[in-house]
Amino acid sequence: MAKDALALKAREDVIPRARKNLLDPLLCHLFLPLSMVLILFYTLLLHMSVKTN
């Protein structure tokens, strides 16, 4: 009985770690480049609007 409880506890500890390992590459490879592209696009728009005025 105690062995089953330990196995369940170990499994519960692994699940958030696996979720974190999945989210870290997503954050690095999707969110950061997307934010960089948005910043570049916004500065380009700003530059174009200043240039036309």
pLDDT tens per residue, range 1-53 = 566 766 666 666 665 666 666 667 777 778 888 999 999 999 999 999 998 76
So what's the pLDDT on residue 8? 62
So what's the pLDDT on residue 9? 64
Question: What is the token pair recorded at 30?
Answer: 């999707």
R_g of the chain computed on alpha carbons: 23
So what's the pLDDT on residue 45? 94
3 vs 27: CA distance, rounded Å? 37
So what's the pLDDT on residue 47? 92
So what's the pLDDT on residue 25? 74
